[in-house]
Structure 1
């Protein structure tokens, strides 16, 4: 996904403030940074963590670079990010709208591909991740 986006993707656990606000996933881009961020709710399951990430990848694949959270709201959740530098932020707080359903379906497809390609990927073989794109 970093190759497709042309920048590094930093994955981090959601902050307590984000969790208090009810977020389980957040994709955010900040002007002037050469990376994008994905924050996810904490989980002890590696597969659940990956599914949070895959869901945000689904938004990226759909090219949903629109602001669903206001800059003011992101600044409350992530106060170290300058409000005027926030380019877009997509958060997952519910699963009922079409955009969330599409991102989740793509995330599920990525998970299936990763499961199928896992043994090959361990040996450096190019996997089918690009089939979703």
Structure 2
């Protein structure tokens, strides 16, 4: 399929969705890599075929070594993880707070993000902004 056909396919998909979609949504729906979907979506937005904007910040969760937060006043060190999906968030709960897993399973995605941010991760940092297209 040539680039123009892909751009038309992308436009049709984005316009068929009731809510703004992410690059990942586009990539999954059209069976494309994230980087190619991002290129196409930006081009379509520049042409005016779809609307695009950077919206929500992408949050990175920082986890100290399993259950060992620093108490010496030094800079926190730990693993930075970006957890974009429900499955990834639940895996972080399994890894860093397994005793809270049953509590986490019943939460919807937004509640789960708050739970991991406030109850499981040692801290969070913004690592970028997600594009949304409509």
TM-score norm. by structure 2 comes to: 0.23
Higher RCO by CA contacts (8 Å cutoff, separation 6 or greater): 2
